[in-house]
Amino acid sequence: MKLPNQFYRPLAIGAPAPLREPPVKVERMIHFVPPHLEKFRAKVPELVKQVDVVLGNLEDAIPADAKEAARAGFIEMAKATDFGSTGLWTRMNALNSPWALDDMIEIVGAVGSKLDVVMLPKVEGPWDIAYLDQLLAQLEARHSVTKPILIHAILETAEGVKNVDAIASASPRMHGISLGPADLAASRAMKTTRVGGGHPDYKVIADAEPGQGPRASFQQDLWHYTIAKMVDACASAGIKAFYGPFGDFSDAPACEAQFRNAFLLGCAGAWSLHPSQIAIAKKVFSPDPQEVAFAKRVLDAMPDGTGAVMIDGRMQDDATWKQCKVVVDLAKQVAAKDADLARIYGF
Ligand code: GLV
Ligand code: MG
pLDDT at 200: 95
Tell me what percent of the residues of the chain surpass a pLDDT of 70.
100
Q: Pairing mode, if any, of strands 150-155 and 270-272?
A: unpaired
pLDDT at 278: 98
Q: In the chain, what are the domains? A: 4-285 (3.20.20.60), 291-345 (no CATH)
Sheet strands (E) in the chain: 29-33, 53-57, 87-91, 117-120, 150-155, 174-179, 203-205, 217-219, 240-242, 270-272, 308-311, 314-317
The pTM is what? 0.97
Can you spell out the DSSP letters for 320-331? HHHHHHHHHHHH
Residues 6+ apart with CB under 8 A from 61: 32, 34
**Section 157-172 average pLDDT:** 98
pLDDT bracket for residue 20 (50, 70, 90): very high
pLDDT at 3: 85
pLDDT at 214: 92
Supply the mean pLDDT for the chain.
97
pLDDT bracket for residue 35 (50, 70, 90): very high
Report whether pLDDT(1) > 80: no
**Section 3-17 average pLDDT:** 94
**In terms of C-beta density within 10 A (0-12 exposed, 13-18 middle, 19 or more buried), how is residue 225 classed?**
exposed
pLDDT at 307: 95
Contact predicate 10/16, CB 8 Å: yes
Q: Which of 32, 119, 183, 193 to mutate to test the pocket of ligand 1 (most atoms within 8 A of CB)?
A: 183
- 250-293 tens-digit pLDDT: 999 999 999 999 999 999 999 999 999 999 999 999 999 999 99
- CA of 30, nearest ligand number: 1
Report whether pLDDT(342) > 90: yes
DSSP code for 113: T
Beta carbon of 181 within 6 Å of any ligand 1 atom: yes
Q: Using CA atoms of 64, 107, 37, 279 in order, give the dihedral in degrees to the nearest 10.
A: 110
Cα 196 to ligand 1 centre (Å): 8
Can you spell out the DSSP letters for 217-263? EEE--TTHHHHHHHHHHHHHHT-EEE------TT-HHHHHHHHHHHH
- CA of 247, nearest ligand number: 1
Q: Which of 57, 58, 60, 89 to mutate to test the pocket of ligand 1 (most atoms within 8 A of CB)?
A: 60
